[in-house]
Chain A
Amino acid sequence: DIQMTQSPSSLSASVGDRVTITCQASQDISNYLNWYQQKPGKAPKLLIYDASNLETGVPSRFSGSGSGTDFTFTISSLQPEDIATYYCQQYDNLPRVTFGPGTKVDIK
């Protein structure tokens, strides 16, 4: 089975800061990697699909990159409404779906 890790597990940053989260797969997953935002008490919301494609309606301060085993999710300028936990999600053609453990983002 493919294992997903995320780092850091949590972070605190100031409004306007650039925030970067990494997701690593235990084997090559090409670009089969999505990113979600989950605010407390709410369902996850899709932000990025196929590693780098911005979902319709999602602000352009969110971006993703990477392929193979190493992926990066970036918030270019952190806003108060971005306080949430962010999850990566990989998939394969069996199909199987696995989520990363999440990264909690707070305002400093």
Chain B
Amino acid sequence: QLQLQESGPGLVKPSETLSLTCTVSGGSISSSSYYWGWIRQPPGKGLEWIGSIYYSGSTYYNPSLKSRVTISVDTSKNQFSLKLSSVTAADTAVYYCARRPTTVTILFDYWGQGTLVTVSS
């Protein structure tokens, strides 16, 4: 059974860089059949796609966050990571990692449980 687990600091100071890792178990992140993505959800609000990565390192980012986002992959550890720079209180959210099949249809079929990141001094 595929599982995704987010990990990282729950508290980040304003202007610093948020860093999260998603560990994939029960499947290989190097499969040619999937992309891997990050989605976030501010408390009490809706979902926002951050970006996706392929095992080869190809990335796609939300244009509204592109200047601050870096997503990377470590196939040796079966992990992919998110870095969001220059954070503000508006970046406080539950951050989810998710799997996206490489079909024409862009959907997210497996999700991590999510991790809350609070931006505060």
B105 proximal to A (CB < 8 A): yes
For residue B62, which residues in chain A have a CB less than 8 angstroms away from its CB? 96-97
Q: Mark B92-113, 1 if CB is under 8 A from A, else 0.
A: 0000101000000111110111
Whether A99 contacts B49 in the complex (CB less than 8 A), given A43-B96, A43-B114, comes out as yes
For residue B60, which residues in chain A have a CB less than 8 angstroms away from its CB? 94-95
How far, in angstroms, from A1 to B64 measured CA to CA in the complex?
Answer: 10
Residue from the set B62, B63, B107, B108 with the largest chain A CB neighbour count within 10 Å: B107
Size range of the chain A interface in the assembly: 20 to 34
For residue A43, which residues in chain B have a CB less than 8 angstroms away from its CB? 96, 98, 111-114
B47 proximal to A (CB < 8 A): yes
Q: Report whether A101 and B46 are in contact in the complex, using a CB–CB cutoff of 8 Å.
A: yes
B48 proximal to A (CB < 8 A): yes
Whether A91 contacts B96 in the complex (CB less than 8 A), given A43-B111, A99-B46, comes out as no
| Of A20-28, A44-52, A63-71, the one with at least 4 CB within 8 A of chain B | A44-52
Q: Mark A25-43, 1 if CB is under 8 A from B, else 0.
A: 0000000101010100011
Whether A97 contacts B109 in the complex (CB less than 8 A), given A43-B96, A43-B114, comes out as no
A-B contact pairs, 7 of them (CB 8 A): A32-B105, A36-B108, A42-B113, A87-B47, A91-B107, A99-B46, A102-B47
- Identify the B interface with A (CB < 8 A): 46-49, 52, 60, 62-63, 96, 98, 105-109, 111-114
Excluding A36-B47, A44-B47, A49-B107, 17 further A-B contacts by CB distance (< 8 Å) are A1-B63, A32-B106, A34-B107, A36-B108, A42-B113, A43-B112, A45-B111, A87-B46, A87-B47, A89-B47, A89-B107, A91-B107, A94-B60, A96-B63, A97-B106, A98-B49, A101-B46
- Identify the A interface with B (CB < 8 A): 1, 32, 34, 36, 38, 42-46, 49-50, 55, 87, 89, 91, 94-102
